[in-house]
Structure 1
């Protein structure tokens, strides 16, 4: 029996398509406070870089700002830009962390994702700044 799926592949975009240019920040008026901020979405999607099959997950971003907050509409557009990008689940959380730390320069940040089950396995990945 031949594997009719062996050569099947969906279009996958390169990580260069992740739109960091859309990200904007706004001033945080209380830098002396110990304020923790958390954003959550159940709509995070990317695709497997090898098969092009979609990965769906819940993404949570938690951070303690210094002087900047991420503007939420820009965050939504940024996260949506992952939609057809071929990126490993474990790399996706690190890429989000890297891009947001560069934008916001926070005191600390944690990016976590719980990806839907594929092949009987669920993935929970987390990346943090500063690294411990």
Structure 2
């Protein structure tokens, strides 16, 4: 039986269009007052639907993300968070950079006592990635 081989050269110049980081809609983020200042509560916001794209290939990167915070004066308004996270959908950004950027932008808006963003990125090519960013963070 003759072995059939595929011509892989046709894939070498394929690249899907990606947006740059200016497409991330930080300006939609809003907060609502936390009505119990001084009384700590831990808030967890999970999502299994976060997507961005690989800056090299334009192929999608999918992540389960969990945002954990202890508010001070403000909570993150959920609808604005959904729009913000969705704006990453076609942005070419490294997984580690996306996770860190999300933490920094949410901290800037909500000014929490504590926040952690955990992203479990789906494996591609056999490798998955778990990225954790915290505020305030420990110095390494």
Q: Which deviates further from its counterpart, 29-38 or 40-49? A: 29-38
SS at structure 1 position matched to 2:11: coil
Q: TM-score with structure 2 length normalisation?
A: 0.91
Q: Bigger radius of gyration, 1 or 2?
A: 2
CA distance, structure 2, for counterparts of residue 56 and residue 48 of structure 1: 10
Displacement, 1:3? 2.8
Q: Which runs of 5+ in 2 are unaligned?
A: 1-6
1:62-121 CA-partner distances (Å, limit 9, x unpaired): 011000001000000000000000010111110100110000111110001111110100
Q: How many residues align?
A: 132
**2:31 matches 1:47:** no
Q: TM-score with structure 1 length normalisation?
A: 0.97
Aligned residue among 90, 95, 113 for 1:84: 90
**2:118 matches 1:112:** yes
Displacement, 1:16? 0.9
> Which residue matches 1:57?
63
Q: RMSD across aligned C-alpha pairs, in angstroms?
A: 0.9
1:34-58 CA-partner distances (Å, limit 9, x unpaired): 2110100000000000100000110
SS at structure 1 position matched to 2:90: coil
SS at structure 2 position matched to 1:3: helix
CA distance, structure 2, for counterparts of residue 25 and residue 34 of structure 1: 17
Regions of 4+ moved over 3 Å: none
